[in-house]
Structure 1
Amino acid sequence: MAAFARSLRANAVPVPQIAQKLVIASGKNKGQRPSVATVNREVRRLASRTGT
C-alpha cells in the first residue's frame, strides 16, 4: 500500500484521491479505506525517509 501511495504522489496525484484508491490489505481494518489524514502522514513519512 505504501509503495502504491508513493508512486501516485510522485505522479502529482492529490492525497484525497490517493486515499480513495487505497484499500487496507490486512489487520483489523482489512478491506476498508484509510483516512486522508493517515495517507498524508504516510506520504510525509516516506518523503522524509527518502529525502524528497
Structure 2
Amino acid sequence: MSALARALRAQGVPVPQIANKLVIPTGKNKGKNSSVATVYRVLAEDEPES
C-alpha cells in the first residue's frame, strides 16, 4: 500500500485522490479507504529529517 502511494505521488497524483484509491487490507477498517492523514504519514516516512 505504501509503495503504491509513493508511486502515485511521484506521478503527481494529489494526496486526496491517492487516499481514495488505497483500501485498507486488514483490521477493523478492512475494505475502507485510507484517510488523507494516513497517506501524508506514509509519504513523510520517506523524507529525510533535518
In which range does the TM-score fall when normalised by the shorter chain? 0.7 to 0.9
Unaligned runs of 5+ in 2: none
Percent identity of the aligned residues?
A: 60
Provide TM-score, normalisation by structure 1: 0.81
Structure holding more helix per residue? 1
> What is the alpha-carbon root mean square deviation over aligned residues?
1.2
Q: How many residues matched?
A: 48
Divergent runs of 4+, >3 A: none
Unaligned runs of 5+ in 1: none
Provide TM-score, normalisation by structure 2: 0.84
Q: Does 1:44 align with 2:49?
A: no
